[in-house]
Chains A and B, each alone.
Chain A
Amino acid sequence: MPGLSTSRIPPSMPPRAGVGLKAEHYRTILEVQPDIGFFEVHAENYMGPGGPPHRYLSAIAARYPISLHGVGLSIGGSSALDQSHLRRLRYLLERYNPVLFSEHLAWSTHDTSFFHDLLPLPYTNKTLWHVCEHIDEVQSEIGRQMLLENPSTYLSFSESTYSEVDFIAEVVMRTGCGLLLDVNNVFVASKNQQWDPFFYIDSYPLDKVQEIHLAGHKEEADERGQPLLIDTHDRPVSELVWQLFEHTIEQTGALPTLIEWDAALPAWTDLQAEAQCAERVMSLARFEKAFLCSSLIGWMTSRLRYLIRSFPYRRA
């Protein structure tokens, strides 16, 4: 197939913002060749044997770094990993040579039924063992490191004996996997379960984070009238999630950051504007880090931050 990358060494991933690659934007991307850090694709959308998805992805992968994001491996489940699915993943990794590969800390498979939903798991010694076994299996099958993404949850299990952060830190220590920190998931889970998202970020193993996800969520109310956030990926990133992102970036420095927008897709330019907004937050954080030693400059950056904040993050 022409357009296939011939190099087996992944191109490096710049610490820039990227967006999810959607079929609706294929043509625009190839015509306009926008300045964007990277594109991320859902692995399962490229598991058809042929057709336009592969043609476009090959053409786009020849021009941009690609990140492959799996949603169907069910790493958090207790049943054995689906071997044919694992082989399909390995094939995609070999074909497109993505810079990053990530999957979810969640389960979606029970026996032979696939729920196509990312379901949460309790954090116990038993689930820790399953998750680590699965990640070891994945990493040895694909011959590279994978990144594990923290879930967006609506409840916590009373049987959990680990906090989510401790559980994830333990998984990283035992398997050597990297992390994909979904800041929107942290925010959604924190509001639904009423804990402090900033504390979560501060105690997270941030040195293992290689990618960040940002997305929009929907605010509803549960039957008791309490706010219930749903991880919908169908709208702009919320103001509070931007603040949590900024708080994260101040500690990690700039990282490959993905704008996830999977439903009610905006025009390409609006999606790109959202990515540019993430890059502004990252460059501001870099600026502050470099100059914070001087109190005067510290004061100036705080004013600058205020000014930038008072601009709308997104185009109206």
Chain B
Amino acid sequence: MAGLIDALRETFPVTLRIVGADFFAAMARVYVASDPPRSPILLEYGGGFANFIEKFEPASSLPYLSDVCRIERAWLEAYHAPEALPIEMSQLKSVSPSEIPTLRLGLHPSVRLVRSKFPALTIWKTNIDGGTPIPVDLQAGGEDVLISRPHADVEVRSISRSAFTFVQAIASKSTILEAAEIALDSDPEFILSSALVAVFGSGLIVDSHTAGIARRIASEAEDEER
């Protein structure tokens, strides 16, 4: 029990810092009792902590707390995510232009998205080790946060609402065209080409394929066999 609370303290240092040690320990104790670990791997524990905090009555005066907690959890998941090598946008050159809209992009396995009605990322940044405390206006509007680890280090950044929607659509296996339509719905100013440059440039894409390409590669392979 004490070990589990310690594990939560290590995974959620910002949440701990915001509510203080006593409150955190009390909250963690209730959580551990309600959601005991199902795995011998302690580093996987705490996946339900943010949802728990959202409904935890004594923490209701801090409505942003669960989203800060989600960022911390996403950071941990990105940190331990499988390795995958990002591809360059130039690799799309081999795809015929007419097929690009029907491409399905494969996201890096470390990519996580957190959408908050509050400036949760700003709050997280001011409270991490080495963060600079700044006044945070809770009414400043929400933040859309992308967490990834394309290479050695975890990267956490704020992205636009439409970019968030775009990445979310890619994550749910939409084609580039479908994802762009959804993003345009959320923001008429959405520009597909710059969004593509951004997702490739940030190392978020690890593969791309279309049903057409898969068919062609298969038929070429058959040709070679003949």
A1 near B83: Cβ-Cβ < 8 Å: yes
The count of chain B contact residues (Cβ–Cβ below 8 Å) is: 26
The stretch of A112-120, A204-212, A216-224, A270-278 that contacts the partner chain: A112-120
Closest-by-CB residue of A relative to B37 is A114
A85 near B6: Cβ-Cβ < 8 Å: no
Partner of B83, one of A50, A73, A74, A108: A50
Query: What chain B residues lie within 8 Å of A85 (beta carbons)?
Result: 40-41
The stretch of B74-82, B88-96, B133-141 that contacts the partner chain: B74-82
A116 near B4: Cβ-Cβ < 8 Å: yes
**CA–CA, A113 to B36, complex, Å?**
7
B146 to chain A, nearest CB (A): 17
Given contacts A55-B152, A263-B6, contact A114 B83 (CB under 8 A): no
A47 near B43: Cβ-Cβ < 8 Å: yes
**CA–CA, A1 to B40, complex, Å?**
26
A69 to chain B, nearest CB (A): 14
**CA–CA, A82 to B38, complex, Å?**
11
A49 near B81: Cβ-Cβ < 8 Å: yes
Query: What chain A residues lie within 8 Å of B81 (beta carbons)?
Result: 48-51
B40 near A73: Cβ-Cβ < 8 Å: yes
CB-CB contacts below 8 Å: A51-87 with B: 51-55, 71-74, 82, 85
**CA–CA, A108 to B80, complex, Å?**
24
CB-CB contacts below 8 Å: B29-63 with A: 36-45
Given contacts A72-B41, A113-B37, 15 further A-B contacts (CB under 8 A): A1-B83, A44-B41, A47-B41, A51-B80, A51-B81, A51-B149, A52-B153, A54-B83, A73-B40, A82-B40, A108-B40, A114-B38, A114-B39, A116-B4, A116-B37
The 6 closest A-B pairs by CB, nearest first: A48-B80, A72-B40, A49-B82, A50-B83, A50-B82, A114-B37
A-binding residues in B (CB < 8 A): 1, 3-4, 6-7, 36-45, 78-83, 109-110, 149, 152-153
